[in-house]
Amino acid sequence: MSRYSRREFIKTGVSFGAASIVAGKTAPASIKKTPAAAGVVRVVSSGNGIRATEKAMSLLKTGADPLDAVIAGVNIVEDDPDDTSVGYGGLPNEDGIVELDASVMYGPTHDAGAVASLRNIKNPSKVAKLVMERSDHVLLVGEGALRFAKSHGFKEENLLTEKAREIWLRWKENLSDEDNWFPAVSDKMTAELRPFLLTYGTINCIAINERGDLAGVTTTSGLSFKIAGRVGDSPIIGAGLYVDNEIGAAGSTGRGEANILNLGSYSVVDFMGQGLSPEEACLKTLERIAVKTKLEPRLLTEDGKPSFGLNFYALNKKGEYGSACMWSGGNYAVHDGAENKLRDSAYLYKEKR
């Protein structure tokens, strides 16, 4: 009896899978296939991703792979020191250290890669892609993720910008009146930075190319001043991101804990597979999360609604797109191949003015 090494087995499996595709094998009958619209090219992102959708579309129009396109798009935000929610310049954990999370998922192979609590590497989305392509794993975390990145040539650098350090310091100085950290004599800086003192910032970007292949990425520095080692939904496949090449793709921003507990992005894609539009699927998922949140009184407003923000973005195989937020006022970026602009998200509850 012949024996295969693990590497030979993997190679054989890959070859068999590729041969099956070439031979034109169809998906199992249990999977409801949504036909792609011929020649449709779309890019959808969270509201902070208008530059990402522009970049991704420009690459898709040259024939670039959709995963390469969306990663190049979010790299713009990861590299931006003025964005305090993603990558370089992201707000640190409670110890003043920036920890990044990211995931990617590729429709044609139904494969994914992710990193969590990654320090000193400003493009976690690129590392997540390498986890998918160059390892037999889906998720690497902490020191292991850093070693993996360095083994592939990534260089360590300090991700804490002066702006982010100032915000963290003001937060630390104002935590308590009984510790030994004193705030600045002038409250001007604190007032200027107060809007940054609690953020969930994240960027999600999903796309479909003219062949009907889907891909997505989600990347973040996570909740500001989190407990060291906290991991949100962004690197969790099925929560912060999910792609099914026969149905569509979805991603999220907002309160990660609520999303992890309900696998929101998987739910959105599943609802699209049942025939709901992208917007309807996002709203239906938010309704499900709101119902479960009622079991946790500390997360409810006085009138029994979720007190947090959570947002979903979706794109189906036909190129239809949509977004919905827990509360009104949200938006998202869409490039439909002709125009790149922000659009209003649907919402479950209306903010009181």
Q: Which residues have a catalytic role annotated?
A: 202
Q: How is residue 213 written in tokens? A: 């292949």
**Taking a C-beta distance cutoff of 8 angstroms, is the pair 280, 320 a contact?**
no
Q: Which tokens hold the place of 70?
A: 């969306």
Distance between CA atoms of residues 229 and 90, nearest Å = 15
Is the separation of the CB atoms in 220 and 233 below 8 Å? no
How far apart are the C-alpha atoms of 37 and 83, rounded to whole Å?
35
Q: Which residue has the tokens 């979010």?
A: 74
Pick from 205, 210, 230: nearest CA to 105? 205
Token pair listed for 226: 């989190």
Tell whether the torsion through CA atoms of 283, 287, 293 and 298 is positive or negative: positive
Q: Report which DSSP code applies to 133.
A: H
Q: β-strand 42-46 against 346-349: which pairing, if any?
A: unpaired
Cα(196)–Cα(328) distance, rounded to whole angstroms?
Answer: 20
Q: Is 82 exposed, middle or buried (0-12, 13-18, 19+ CB in 10 A)?
A: exposed
Answer for the pair 254, 288: CB distance below 8 angstroms, yes or no: no
Report how far residue 137's alpha carbon sits from residue 174's, in angstroms, rounded to the nearest whole number. 41
Kindly state the tokens that stand for 37.
């619209």
